[in-house]
């Protein structure tokens, strides 16, 4: 998949997954990697940046499989950011679908 496509939607994917429930970094990487080829480093970089920007808060939770895991939770600002991105995504994809699915004539 085109790198620029992935970069553009990775924020949206992470935010949407965290909107459903709190998750830890590796879990997010695994979920996204099932559908989109993505490097672990790019997801962790994004998590650090979005946490610093106030869209996530973190907490540690004990794990039965090793050391405690850092979980990410959407903040109110993160929920608002997700809604903004979803609105932009819907408008963008509708426009692109019209362009590539149409007959090429200017209406």
Q: Which residues lie closer than 8 Å to 47 by C-beta, 6 or more apart? A: 14, 25, 28, 56, 72
Predicted pLDDT at 100: 92
- State phi, psi for 62 to the nearest 5 degrees: -60, 145
The per-residue pLDDT string of the chain (107 residues; one tens digit each, 9 = 90 and over) reads 566 777 779 999 999 999 999 999 999 999 999 999 898 999 999 999 999 999 999 999 998 988 999 999 999 999 999 999 999 999 999 999 999 986 555 55
Specify the pLDDT at position 1: 55
Domain ranges of the chain: 29-94
Domain spanning 29-94: which CATH class is it, in words? Answer: mainly alpha
Token duo for residue 19: 């909107």
Give the pLDDT score at 98: 93
């Amino acid at each position: 998949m085109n790198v620029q496509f992935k970069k553009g939607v990775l924020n949206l994917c992470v935010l949407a997954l965290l909107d459903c429930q709190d998750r830890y970094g590796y879990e997010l990487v695994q979920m996204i990697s099932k559908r989109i080829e993505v490097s672990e480093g790019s997801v962790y970089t994004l998590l650090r940046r979005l946490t610093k920007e106030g869209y996530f808060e973190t907490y540690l939770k004990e794990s039965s499989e090793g050391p405690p895991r850092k979980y990410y939770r959407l903040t109110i600002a993160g929920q608002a950011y997700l809604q903004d991105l979803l609105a932009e995504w819907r408008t963008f994809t509708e426009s692109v679908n019209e362009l590539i699915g149409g007959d090429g004539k200017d209406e």
